[in-house]
Homo-oligomer: A and B are copies of this chain.
Amino acid sequence: MSSDLKENFAFRPGRRPAGPGTQPPAPRAAAEAGAGAPARNTNRPGPTALAAKVRTMAPSMTRSMQRVAEAVASDPAGCAQLTVTGLAERTGTSEATVVRTSRLLGYPGYRDLRLALAGLAAQQESGAAPAVTADIVVDDPIADVVAKLALDEQQTLADTAAGLDVAQVEAAVAAMATARRIDVYGVGASGLVSQDLAQKLLRIGMVAHSHADPHLAVTNAVQLRAGDVAVAITHSGRTVDVIEPLRVAFDQGATTIAITGRPDGEVAQYADHVLTTSTARESELRPAAMSSRTSQLLVVDCLFIGVAQRTYETAAPALSASYEALAHRHSPRPRTR
């Protein structure tokens, strides 16, 4: 089943009515003005060329038409909102004139000019994209906060992906996929990431636990041995509560993995494989915890997917099973799909 997205794909990509006789709707090709050959005006200008076209054609326009063209050229966005009648009023002319102007500019009618106008407006708008990269400050309006945060996190993701050592990931995944059991250590913000990893691994039938309590973590680490895997997550690379259990696991002969922003930190000393997370800039209002978390989660997701791929035979059914098991915890009524 997967998803039913496949059924879309409307081929028939460019369904331009280009050809004179191809128009399903109306044979509106007939020239209005009696003048001989309308010559099927040059190809209709794309949004970009519209402004230029207006200037070029202006001289050959009648006064009323010029007014329309003027309005259109100076405020595409605004005009795109108007109906024929609206634009006629705004320019102090009539609908007929607006349509004639549209024709002159190379469109079949006003409807199409309007569409082009919308396109032009959108382009102009996007061209002026400011790209809010500044830091978040105390008096930023919420809208800016949202935009900045999203951008920052996207940047963090890109950085992380770029900085990840694929070979290390590969090795870590290999160890985890065949592990008898997996322990994950993390406290504070990293604790949540640690739980996330454990939770996901559980869902595909792995034996995984997340330990936030440092004492219990060490207690558990002592039980590990070769064939087991221990994962430590710490942004700073020097959180003792996390390093300690990893060290123990390491000494016990387990395969150890560190996910840290400081590959030179102490935690790396006890790690067989080090996965480096990105360290984005931070500010007072944007504590490190935020971007490190994003980064860590990406790494954790990669590990998870990698493991799931390699244990697909058991992972897939386990996944469905856990969804099944939780189904009754949902209220019944959501419509379709």
- Chain B residues near A125 (CB, 8 Å)? 46-48
Cβ-based interface call for A66 (8 A): yes
Seed contacts A46-B122, A118-B122; 7 additional CB < 8 Å A-B pairs: A3-B282, A10-B78, A17-B81, A119-B122, A145-B309, A238-B330, A240-B331
Q: Of B70, B114, B199, which one neighbours A5 at CB under 8 angstroms?
A: B70
Using known A-B contacts A149-B301, A157-B150, determine if residue A266 contacts B333 with beta carbons closer than 8 Å.
Answer: yes
User: What is the 8 Å Cβ interface bit string for chain A, positions 283-298, against chain B (1 contact, 0 not)?
Assistant: 1111101100110011
CB interface residues, A 1-31, toward B, < 8 Å: 1-3, 5, 7-10, 12-17, 25
Cβ-based interface call for A176 (8 A): no
The reply to whether B71 and A10 form a contact with Cβ atoms under 8 Å apart is yes
Whole-angstrom distance between the alpha carbons of A167 and B85 in the complex?
Answer: 34
The reply to whether A10 and B330 form a contact with Cβ atoms under 8 Å apart is no
Whole-angstrom distance between the alpha carbons of A67 and B143 in the complex?
Answer: 31
Cβ-based interface call for A262 (8 A): yes
- Chain B residues near A179 (CB, 8 Å)? none
Number of copies of this protein chain within its complex: 2
| Nearest Cβ on chain B to A204's Cβ, whole angstroms | 10
Q: Of B114, B154, B169, which one neighbours A154 at CB under 8 angstroms?
A: B154
Using known A-B contacts A142-B166, A305-B145, A305-B285, determine if residue A243 contacts B200 with beta carbons closer than 8 Å.
Answer: no
The reply to whether B8 and A67 form a contact with Cβ atoms under 8 Å apart is yes
Of the four ranges (under 10, 10 to 19, 20 to 34, 35 or more), the interface on chain A belongs to 35 or more
Cβ-based interface call for A161 (8 A): yes
CB interface residues, A 164-198, toward B, < 8 Å: 164, 166, 169-170, 173, 187-189, 192, 195-196
Cβ-based interface call for A75 (8 A): yes
Q: Can you identify 18 A-B contacts, CB atoms within 8 angstroms?
A: A3-B281, A3-B282, A8-B74, A10-B74, A12-B78, A17-B81, A47-B118, A62-B337, A126-B127, A142-B170, A146-B166, A146-B169, A146-B298, A237-B334, A241-B329, A264-B335, A285-B305, A285-B309
